[in-house]
Amino acid sequence: MIPYYAVVFGISVLMTTIYIFRWHKHFNTLITLTFILTPIINLAYLFFSTSTVMEEAVVSNKITYLGGCYLLLIMTLTIFNLCKIELKKWIRLSLLLFSTLVFITAMTSPESKIFNTEVTFEIVDGVVMLHKKLSVMHYVFFVMVGGYILLSLGAIIYSYFKRKQASRKIILLLLILEIFSLICFAATRIFSLNFDLTPLSYDAGLLIFIIVIRKMSLYDITDSAIDTIIEKGDTGFISFDNKFNYVGSNETAKTIVPEINDLVVDKPIDNEKLNNIKEWLNDFKINNLNNVHYLERNDKTYVITTSLLYVGKSKKGYQLTIKDDTQNQEYIKLINTFNDELKNEVEEKTREIVKVSDNFIIGLATMVESRDNSTGGHIKRTSEGVRLLVEEMKKDKIISDEFCERIIKAAPMHDIGKIAVDDRILRKPGKFTPEEFEEMKKHSEAGAKILSEIVDDKHDKEFKKITVNVAHFHHERWDGSGYPKGLKGEEIPLEARIMAIADVYDALVSKRVYKEKFSFEESYKIIKDGMGTQFDKSLEVYFDRARENLEKYYSEIDC
């Protein structure tokens, strides 16, 4: 049967060669391992068929157990991946450890009587044969092989009926592979053939995977979209690590910003003409919001967007994306040349849109509040608390009328990020567990992201900044022990420091599901004690001045 094993080995080498030329960096590592292991295992079958002494046959035979122990496991995990079924890490690890245990026993000598109790060697009509007396572990091996095949079949059938996002063509191809593998495995054992069909099933697997990877490139929208954008050539990319060291860029970016060619990989920006990029990166690192900038080059206007750079799920740095925005900018300039009458009409319409937008945002905030068992009426009360505080500050002329209007208008939106918090936590009738509190804490960053999107350019930029800051940083503490950024002192925006006092005061004097309300005296003392640690000490005088009006307001409402 040497010609049979030689052909099977040759096919596996051919399939692997085809895969090498089709290989893409986004291909699953498990598929690559399949193409690496199969020729090695099939070569072991070929060596076994050409053995002339028992020692050669035994060694070759042991290598073939890589197929049953590892190759089938890899194929099974690959099938689960293609079927869009995610196995938990501990399950994958357990299967690997079990396969390793079986493989180690298969490597033992017959004298140990662990895997085979006795092995004899003979060549009959040119066919090499090893006669084995099987131990319990050998039967465990058979059960494991059958189990992997059945697991794969189960995943395929389940995915066909339950996973709409999995390609039906790929699922049917995998089904054909599993049925063929099962037939080969069973036929070799049941009919006692003098040659093994298992390596042929491995080749079938490679053939199916060759077909599958061609379709994967089409069905993997993320990868195909990225490749399309890069190949199209009209979008530039510049990447930096977390320390703003240059990582790399594509040719489009180098054409638009030729100064990039002078940068050294893994080194900071040292070209004065690129200082604005350093400023953009630093600005984005601080607030994650100001991420859009414009660049004039060669009579064209480019929009440059700063974003986080991810490798997998890990944040590894920052990326600038450069696109030609000339047409949009020319259109904007054309709009700016319209006469005053049209301009006034646009402004009026804009005011209407802003009003609708404001009502929408307030409505959204109210809807979020209605989900929260513990904070009914909270946004209205805290808004009034902010108003009373800033009115006292305005008397000393340390803040402008515009600032007062903006922060009062922004205050109702400070907890809008709770829309991203699960009802299970938000509506819990009691104190949070540490894990639940960690989830709840995410609402501040979520609110900042939401508001940065829905508070658009129709509002003035300063209002957008105040609104986002109020949502983002109202849980920061003066001593730096707050969240989400751990900002300290004047690193915390003034609007967030003001919001923090109004927010905590309302929480103290209001009844919650997990506590009774504190008296005005107790609440006043707690806030006072927090000045200089939790709150900005410089705001203490304004809190004192507003105390009487705060207590009067809360006395007149039921909270």
354 and 326 in contact (C-beta within 8 Å)? Answer: no
Cα–Cα distance between 387 and 347 in angstroms, integer?
Answer: 28
The DSSP secondary structure of 81-101, one letter per residue, reads: HHTT-PPPHHHHHHHHHHHHH
User: How much is the pLDDT for 363?
Assistant: 61
Identify the bridge partners of residue 241 per DSSP, sorted by sequence position.
317
| Tokens encoding 332 | 């904007």
Q: What one-letter code names the amino acid at 504?
A: V
Which H or E run contains 123? Answer: strand 116-124
Residue 27's closest CA among 108, 81, 87?
Answer: 81
Cα–Cα distance between 509 and 520 in angstroms, integer?
Answer: 7
Cα–Cα distance between 559 and 507 in angstroms, integer?
Answer: 10
SS3 at position 118: strand
Cα–Cα distance between 107 and 282 in angstroms, integer?
Answer: 58
Q: Which fold has domain 2-222?
A: Rhopdopsin 7-helix transmembrane proteins (1.20.1070)
Q: How far from 488 is each of 216, 476, 529, 534, CA to CA, in Å?
A: 49, 8, 18, 10
Sign of CA dihedral 109, 115, 116, 122: negative
Which segments within 282-424 are labelled E, that is strand?
A: 292-297, 300-311, 314-324
Helix axes 540-555, 520-530, angle to 10 degrees: 160
Counting Cα atoms < 13 Å in the Cβ hemisphere of 233 gives 2
User: How much is the pLDDT for 366?
Assistant: 62
Residue 9's closest CA among 55, 60, 72?
Answer: 60
Counting Cα atoms < 13 Å in the Cβ hemisphere of 90 gives 0
Order of strands, sheet of 300-311, starting from the edge strand that comes earlier in the sequence:
246-249, 235-241, 314-324, 300-311, 292-297
Residue 74's closest CA among 45, 103, 95, 43?
Answer: 95
Cα–Cα distance between 551 and 519 in angstroms, integer?
Answer: 10
Contacts of 39 (CB under 8 A, 6+ apart): 9, 12, 13, 16
User: How much is the pLDDT for 350?
Assistant: 55
User: How much is the pLDDT for 365?
Assistant: 58
Q: Which fold has domain 233-336?
A: Beta-Lactamase (3.30.450)
User: How much is the pLDDT for 378?
Assistant: 80
DSSP state of 113: T
Cα–Cα distance between 3 and 502 in angstroms, integer?
Answer: 85
Cα–Cα distance between 444 and 500 in angstroms, integer?
Answer: 12
End-to-end CA distance of the chain: 88
User: How much is the pLDDT for 272?
Assistant: 77
Cα–Cα distance between 109 and 115 in angstroms, integer?
Answer: 8
Q: Mark 71-80 as b/e (b = at least 16 C-beta within 10 Å).
A: bbbbbbbbbb
Identify the bridge partners of residue 246 per DSSP, sorted by sequence position.
240
User: How much is the pLDDT for 168?
Assistant: 76
| Tokens encoding 27 | 């291909």
User: How much is the pLDDT for 219?
Assistant: 44
| φ, ψ of residue 116 in degrees (nearest 5) | -125, 135
Which segments within 288-438 are labelled E, that is strand?
A: 292-297, 300-311, 314-324
Residue 315's closest CA among 288, 335, 296?
Answer: 288
> In the chain, where are the structural domains located?
2-222, 233-336, 340-555
Cα–Cα distance between 548 and 325 in angstroms, integer?
Answer: 55
User: How much is the pLDDT for 436?
Assistant: 86
Q: In a structure prediction context, what are the per-residue pLDDT tens digits for the chain, which is 559 residues long?
A: 788 989 999 999 999 999 888 876 667 788 889 999 999 999 998 998 898 888 888 888 889 898 889 988 998 998 898 888 889 999 999 999 999 999 999 888 877 888 877 888 888 777 777 778 888 888 898 899 889 988 989 998 988 888 776 777 888 888 888 888 888 878 877 777 778 888 998 999 899 888 887 765 544 444 544 555 555 557 888 888 888 888 888 888 888 888 888 888 778 888 777 888 888 888 888 876 668 888 888 788 888 888 888 766 678 888 888 888 888 877 777 766 655 555 666 566 555 555 655 655 666 656 655 555 554 578 788 889 999 999 999 999 889 999 998 899 888 888 888 888 887 887 777 777 888 888 888 989 998 998 888 776 555 788 889 999 999 999 999 999 999 999 999 999 999 999 999 999 998 998 776 678 899 999 999 999 999 999 999 999 999 999 999 999 988 886 5
Sign of CA dihedral 61, 65, 66, 71: positive
Which H or E run contains 18? Answer: helix 2-22
Sign of CA dihedral 214, 216, 221, 224: negative
Cα–Cα distance between 439 and 420 in angstroms, integer?
Answer: 10
Which segments within 384-493 are labelled E, that is strand?
A: none
β-bridge pairing 246-249 and 292-297: unpaired
Cα–Cα distance between 380 and 376 in angstroms, integer?
Answer: 9
Task: Give CA 158 to chain center in angstroms.
Answer: 26
- 340-555: in CATH 3.10.580.10: no
User: How much is the pLDDT for 221?
Assistant: 43
